[in-house]
Structure 1
Amino acid sequence: MPKVLRPHITSDPAVCGGSPIIAGTRFSVRIVVGYILRLGLTPEELQADFPHLSLAAIYDALSYYYDNREEVDAEIKANDELSAQAEAHRTSS
């Protein structure tokens, strides 16, 4: 059963490994942070690219991030490391 973390943010061990996601989607807070804080998209641009996400949900994801920055940053770092390992393995084969 999903745990409600914010009005638009849930966590369920059966969905995306329990990462906080926008409710009703598989779009994680980590992905929202990546698009907005790393790539420089505005919330409005992200919503235009992914119209199934409401602006309220996107801003809720950002709010969750700023309240839980250490946790989400650790998840981002772990994902980046896993991606780098996968890329290194792919290019060495």
Structure 2
Amino acid sequence: MATATNIGTLVTCSPDVGDGCPVIAGTKTSVSRVVVLYKQRANAEEIARRISHLNLAQVYAALAYYHANRDQIETELAQAEAEYWSLASFNSFKK
């Protein structure tokens, strides 16, 4: 008989991994990374193919976490984008 997986254990948040942002348990892959691909219209199977160390259950768990916590993940994505553009403009001044 197959062992059931508690899907609540597939996503975790810890200050020791990913600065406390939600990640796929047992990996350093953030939920945000999965969501970026999802927002680029990749389906779960395609995301699992592109991030090959994740299985389909992990991808769906990340997407479920995103849909249940959309504001949190959207804030993380906005902060990451702002940081990117801040660094990009800083580096353009150095040239």
1:23 maps to amino acid: A
Cα displacement string for residues 33-71 of structure 1 (whole angstroms, at most 9, x for unaligned residues): 00111x221111111122210110100001001111111
Q: Which residue matches 1:26?
A: 28
How many angstroms apart in 1 are the aligned matches of 2:25 and 2:76? Answer: 19
Q: Which residue matches 1:87?
A: 88
User: What is the TM-score normalised by the length of structure 2?
Assistant: 0.87
2:66 equivalent to 1:44: no
Gaps of 5+ in 2: 1-6
Identity %: 31
Gaps of 5+ in 1: none
Q: Which residue matches 1:62?
A: 63
How many angstroms apart in 2 are the aligned matches of 1:74 and 1:49? Answer: 24
Q: Which has the larger radius of gyration?
A: 2
How many angstroms apart in 2 are the aligned matches of 1:61 and 1:84? Answer: 26
Deviation at 1:12?
0.8
Q: CA RMSD in A?
A: 1.3
* Range with bigger deviation, 5-14 or 39-48: 5-14
User: What is the TM-score normalised by the length of structure 1?
Assistant: 0.88
